[in-house]
Structure 1
Amino acid sequence: MAVQSRWIKMFVSFILMLQFTGAHSRDLLLSFTVRDGDKVTLPCENVINNHHNCDTTTWIFTDSRGTAAVELVNHGQIKESDKSDRLSVTAECSLVIKKVTAEDVGRYTCRQFIGNPGRQQGPDAVVYLSVVHMTEQKNADEVTLSCSVSIYESVTTEDNKEQLFTFSTQSSGKKPGGILMSKSF
């Protein structure tokens, strides 16, 4: 039981560390790391005052595979895409993604437009999304917990699109064993 409690504390600390990997709101740049399957709210840091139903807001998604950018939200309305059933926009124009997967890893850009035709107003607000996938394997008195973190390419070096962290410990039931951490790319 003490080993389980120790594991839980260690991984909660690890996940919290990942959650706050970047928050540079003065530069309109944010970074979030969430666990796969979770829901995440990506804030739009450049919303125009007195907007109505986010009709000035557009969200654009760019992935790490080099495919063309995809417009997810146009003037507050969700556009049809492979993930549109998992998307919503809050009253504050934040983008909500439900049941996050590794396919959601990427750069999300919030832009504001005014007038007709729409002119971009102000700078882009960029949010980078990374996703953590954890698995646990139990074998007698040994527990192996694997954790992979999928990261948008430009946040890391060009070759390091995914980092894999593996943690394991052994216990005889009387006293906790050591913790082993390995990292691979």
Structure 2
Amino acid sequence: MREENVVLPCNSPSSLSSCSDVTWFYSRDKNQNTQKKVWSGADDQISHRVSKFNVSSSCSLIMEYVDDDDAGLYTCRPGSDASSDGFVYLNVLSNYPPYFSRSSKTFYCSLRRYDGLDLCPENSFRWLDETGTELTEGVWLELRGPTVCLSSLTVKDQSDKNRNYTCQFVEGNRVKVEIKHTPRRFKGSSSGIIHLYHRAGDEAVLPCNRPSSSDSCSSVDWIYQRNKNMNRKQEVHGGMVQSSPRSARMSLDRNCSLIINNITAEDVGRYSCGYNTDVYLNMMIISSSPPAVDPTKNEEITLFCSLLRSSSLESCPDKSFLWLNETGSELTGEGDGYKYGGQFGCVSSLTVNLQSRRRFTCQFVEGNKVKIEAHYGSEGPPASSPLSFIMLTLKITGLILMVGITVGIIRTRGRKKPQKDVNVRFSVDDDSVNYENDGERSAAAALH
């Protein structure tokens, strides 16, 4: 389950005296050509998520604070012989803040897993109320993708705010994992709350709003909390960035704003600088299933647009995601080469036939204001665009004309004596360029 610690067994041979020869690999999907090494006894911990991994005395992989990105296939290799590999599939069950309408609210529950397994069965999700009674009305299996399965429960909005619901993932009649939706009060915005929106890899600058009378950052502390269930962590104390796996990407500017370079999903959450300012860092990503396709083969893929944010916030409002094509036209319903998959919490999907040089844009909006957008596909118009064909033809024709004129001038100027009745003709399609020399003028051109 998300936000928990897990232990993945290695099943190492009893003859193994230590974990120095053990290596752990990670793979998200079957299309990856190489596995990523996440832990090695020989190289010590080697990963951009190094703080997440450790090993036990039996060489089992210990993962701290599991999230959706950790789902996949993990391989334990004792020594260098791949024939003794042990495989562990990690599935991550997550819940999202409910979506509220006038008379109802909808809860979402998703299972992230390795791309290479069978699709989730129809009845793989079960919803229970606070008494343990199974609910059947309002339950839907929204998505059965290769990497994610999504279920929802819609209930009438009641005055009893203490009701809670449990989502279970089952195989047969056996519960594999469950997660509980607990009551949560909405926290409205105020002048001391700032929302920042970025894409993965961006540089984020988190303002501190300290008093202008302060001359230094020696009294500034930055506190980070991914969600309300996670312990608060001090990233900056007394103006100094504290040692952590993320410290190399953090710094303060002269206004004591916190700068985070090359942001990742690990950076999403709530930051407080101590001057009555809370900054929520949100990140948008676009992924595809399958993740790697040949755009020239016009394969069908599903694009997932996600807004990662602190779980202490409310779920994304309905219709807060927009999909656009390369011309800026909004894609809704089903059309030529695409099918809109709808929005579930803070995730929206679009299934497309990926043509050469096609580009799709996902926007997150609040009201009529675009907060952030992300793109999938090549820049520029598609290769089949009539305008691009016309422009390409004009460019080629112009280039041929320039070459012809230049060659004629160079040849004429290169002769020591003017020659009479010299005609040079260069034909471009049905147009002719005629160069004439009458012995007096150096060159002349006539178009016919």
TM-score range, shorter chain: 0.5 to 0.7
Q: 2:237 aligns with which of 69, 74, 78?
A: 74
Aligned runs of 1:12-31 on 2, under 5 Å?
27-31=191-195
Task: Indicate the residue corresponding to 1:20 in structure 2.
Answer: none
- For 1:66 and 1:36, locate their aligned partners in 2 and report how far apart those are by CA, in whole Å: 24
- For 1:166 and 1:181, locate their aligned partners in 2 and report how far apart those are by CA, in whole Å: 11
Query: Any gaps of 5 or more consecutive residues in structure 1?
Result: 1-23, 113-123, 170-174
- For 1:179 and 1:97, locate their aligned partners in 2 and report how far apart those are by CA, in whole Å: 37
Q: TM-score, normalised by structure 1?
A: 0.63
Q: String of CA shifts for 1:120-141, please: whole Å, max 9, x gaps.
A: xxxx200001111113565534
Task: Indicate the residue corresponding to 2:305 in structure 1.
Answer: 147
Q: 1:184 aligns with which of 316, 337, 344?
A: 344
Aligned partner letter, 1:133: I
- Does residue 37 of the first structure (1) align with residue 201 of the second (2)? yes
- For 1:145 and 1:168, locate their aligned partners in 2 and report how far apart those are by CA, in whole Å: 12
- For 2:229 and 2:255, locate their aligned partners in 1 and report how far apart those are by CA, in whole Å: 30
* Offset at residue 178 of structure 1 (A): 5.2
Q: String of CA shifts for 1:36-67, please: whole Å, max 9, x gaps.
A: 1111101112x123323311211100012722
Aligned length: 138
Q: Percent identity of the aligned residues?
A: 28
- For 1:84 and 1:65, locate their aligned partners in 2 and report how far apart those are by CA, in whole Å: 22
- For 1:180 and 1:103, locate their aligned partners in 2 and report how far apart those are by CA, in whole Å: 29
Query: Any gaps of 5 or more consecutive residues in structure 2?
Result: 1-188, 326-334, 346-448
* Offset at residue 168 of structure 1 (A): 8.7
CA contact (8 A) 2:287 2:305 kept: yes
SS in 2 for 1:103: helix
CA contact (8 A) 1:48 1:56 kept: no
Q: TM-score, normalised by structure 2?
A: 0.28
Moved over 4 A (4+): 136-139, 165-169, 175-179
- For 1:167 and 1:71, locate their aligned partners in 2 and report how far apart those are by CA, in whole Å: 38
Alpha carbon RMSD of aligned pairs, Å? Answer: 2.9
Task: Indicate the residue corresponding to 1:10 in structure 2.
Answer: none
CA contact (8 A) 2:235 2:242 kept: yes
- For 2:231 and 2:302, locate their aligned partners in 1 and report how far apart those are by CA, in whole Å: 38
- For 2:336 and 2:207, locate their aligned partners in 1 and report how far apart those are by CA, in whole Å: 41
